[in-house]
């Protein structure tokens, strides 16, 4: 089974990952698994209004930012199967919107995904959201808290059952607030690991997801470009 690491921090991030096929990373789940709580800092100043989607798109990473070996990855077609969470009440309480990828009610958003053809086939994606700082903080915190409340659970779509796991990880001391976690999923005899790190800087939320090594390598440049368009 081959899987996309295109993720949307909501529950659909995991279901799309596991249900559209998966071969992102086979790093052990324990690698970089240390506790990290969101921190508040005096980062970039907040803008008076959310940035437009056009402006956010200008601030997404592109192939030239990432370097040699990266190429744009088209968004996978969404499946129509009903998605069900089993064994995690907090995620179930988020409702169907979280399970279908529309759990965030932020004013503006933009997204890009890439494949890396270096030593192995890996992927990394970036999402940018813009809204009021308090709304961004509450929205992303609610989803992370729900996911981290259940170390293990199941996600089903059609006849496919995915064994899921979440674990908090250390986030770099960047921006105004930070969240990070490792997501493990097993389906079709394969087990993969995806890292998701979110940084809020003023009225922008930056989320980088994918192979843990690629997330760590590109988070700084994603945040720098998100703060000021080139």
pLDDT at position 190: 84
According to DSSP, the β-strands at 204-210 and 190-201 are antiparallel
End-to-end CA distance of the chain, in Å? 39
User: Does some domain include residue 47?
Assistant: no
Q: Which value, in Å, is the radius of gyration of the alpha carbons in the chain?
A: 16
Task: Count up the domains in the chain and report the number.
Answer: 1
pLDDT at position 224: 96
pTM: 0.79
Range of the domain at 83: 11-29+64-225
User: Does some domain include residue 186?
Assistant: yes
pLDDT at position 4: 35
pLDDT at position 27: 39
CATH code of the domain containing 19: 3.40.1000.70
The closest alpha carbon to 185, from 8, 10, 19, 9, belongs to 19
User: Does some domain include residue 230?
Assistant: no
pLDDT at position 8: 33
Q: How far is CA 203 from the centre of its chain?
A: 18
User: Does some domain include residue 51?
Assistant: no
Q: DSSP strand E in the chain: where?
A: 70-72, 83-86, 108-117, 121-130, 152-157, 160-168, 177-187, 190-201, 204-210
pLDDT at position 182: 93
pLDDT at position 66: 93
User: Does some domain include residue 36?
Assistant: no
Series of mean pLDDT values for 10-residue runs along the chain (230 residues): 35 43 38 38 53 93 92 70 80 62 72 80 88 93 88 85 91 94 87 91 93 93 85
User: Does some domain include residue 25?
Assistant: yes
Alpha-helical (H) ranges within the chain are 11-19, 53-58, 63-66, 89-93, 96-99, 133-148, 212-227
130, 139 contact by CB (below 8 A) = no
198, 143 contact by CB (below 8 A) = no
What sign for the dihedral angle of Cα 50, 56, 61, 65?
negative
User: Does some domain include residue 102?
Assistant: yes
CA distance 149 to 168: 10
Cβ partners under 8 Å of residue 48, min gap 6: none
User: Does some domain include residue 2?
Assistant: no
pLDDT at position 103: 54
């Amino acid at each position: 089974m081959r899987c996309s690491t295109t993720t949307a921090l909501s529950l659909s991030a995991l279901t799309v990952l596991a249900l559209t096929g998966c071969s992102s990373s086979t790093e052990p789940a324990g690698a970089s698994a240390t506790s990290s709580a969101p921190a508040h800092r005096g980062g970039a100043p907040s803008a008076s209004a959310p940035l437009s989607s056009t402006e956010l798109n200008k601030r997404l990473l592109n192939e030239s930012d990432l370097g040699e070996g990266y190429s744009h990855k088209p968004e996978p077609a969404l499946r129509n199967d009903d998605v069900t969470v089993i064994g995690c009440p907090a995620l179930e309480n988020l409702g169907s919107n979280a399970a279908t990828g529309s759990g965030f009610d932020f004013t503006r958003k933009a997204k890009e995904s890439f494949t890396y053809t270096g030593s192995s086939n890996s992927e990394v994606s970036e999402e940018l959201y813009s809204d009021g700082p308090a709304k961004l903080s509450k929205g992303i915190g609610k989803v992370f808290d729900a996911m981290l409340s259940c170390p293990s659970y199941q996600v089903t779509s059609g006849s496919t059952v995915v064994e899921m796991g979440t674990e908090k990880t250390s986030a770099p001391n960047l921006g105004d607030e930070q969240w990070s976690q490792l997501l493990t999923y097993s389906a079709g005899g394969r087990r993969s690991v995806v890292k998701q790190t979110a940084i809020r800087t003023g009225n922008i939320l930056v989320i980088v997801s994918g192979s843990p090594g690629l997330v760590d390598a590109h988070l700084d440049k994603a945040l720098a470009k998100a703060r000021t368009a080139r």
